[in-house]
Amino acid sequence: MSGTLRVGTRGSPLARAQANEVIAQLGRIHPDIRAEMVVVTTHGDEGYRSDLGTDLDGKRAFTKRIEEALLEDRIDVAVHSLKDVPTEPVDGLVLAAVPPRADPRDVLVASEPRALMDLPAGTRVGTSSLRRRAQLLALRPELDIVELHGNVGTRLRSLEAKDLNTVVVAAAGLHRLADDSRTKRLVAGIEDPLARKAVDVERALSAAVGGGCNVPFGALATFANGGMDLRAVVASPDGGRVVRASVRETAADGTKAVKEAARRLRDGGAREILEAMG
């Protein structure tokens, strides 16, 4: 198999780094393919630059234009942070491959080394995530959580520019700084079956409870000792209400775990929290 594969991505340094990782993985299994990066500016990127919150409200703020580029055959494949991809499918598009997972944890970056529980009351902590905001306030309600958007580099520079004491970012971000059978065959080699299984379960739970990147919801599926552990959280933006669910399953597909976790979240008040957000 030979030719050129057009790999679409957002233009942020992190997005480019992710795309380059995928291009490198593809190059190792398809040395005769030349992969070229195609940068697509999304509504979400424009919202960051103009600081217009309305550009960030839609579920597909960071994916719609890339989806359009795929459907219009301007790119062959797209690389996304899966948290930005809504669980509702788009006709003509598939989730073709899930590479090995990066570190799922969050990192607290501070001007002075401190653990979260050691931060003084009133410490200004910047984050762009409702889920992180809610979890921080649930643990430390006396912190001052400041809304902070932009790419990873922008957020880190905000430690000085916005007079912040700390910011919270994804560990993976720090570490990186239609029926198209040909493309699916190309990317299939970087598929990680365990990562695919985990994200399928997490996204199924997100769809079941109405989660997404614009609501304070988080889920993590891990595998050990012949079973799967599914942990999830839904919280009010102020951290005042936090609903957690933890389920272990030994079945193959995780269906029972998703149903049980969704039930526990709903019984704990998750639906009321999300409905209150409109």
pLDDT 10s digits, 181-235: 556 676 777 788 899 899 999 999 998 988 666 678 999 999 988 889 999 999 9
Least confident of 148-162, 214-228, 231-245, 260-274: 148-162
> Is the full-model pTM beyond 0.95?
no
pLDDT exceeds cutoff 50 at 142: yes
Helix 181-188 and helix 13-29, axial crossing angle in degrees, nearest 10: 90
The pLDDT value recorded for residue 23 is 93
The pLDDT value recorded for residue 50 is 40
Kind and range of the H or E element at 244? Answer: strand 242-249
For the chain, residues classed under CATH 3.40.190.10 are 3-98+178-191, 106-173
Q: Is 32 exposed, middle or buried (0-12, 13-18, 19+ CB in 10 A)?
A: exposed
- Tally the C-alpha atoms within 13 A of residue 69's C-alpha that lie toward its C-beta: 22
- Tally the C-alpha atoms within 13 A of residue 116's C-alpha that lie toward its C-beta: 17
Query: Do 249 and 256 touch, CB atoms closer than 8 A?
Result: yes
For the chain, residues classed under CATH 3.30.160.40 are 197-276
Residue ranges of the alpha helices (H) in 51-192?
64-71, 130-139, 152-161, 171-176, 181-188
> Could you give the CA distance from residue 61 to residue 47 in angstroms, rounded to a whole number?
9
Q: Of the CATH numbers 3.40.1050.10, 3.30.160.40, 3.40.50.300, 3.30.1360.120, which one belongs to the domain with range 197-276?
A: 3.30.160.40
CATH number of 3-98+178-191: 3.40.190.10
CATH number of 106-173: 3.40.190.10
> Could you give the CA distance from residue 14 to residue 16 in angstroms, rounded to a whole number?
5
> What pLDDT, in 10s, does the model give residues 105-124?
888 888 777 889 999 999 99
pLDDT exceeds cutoff 60 at 49: no
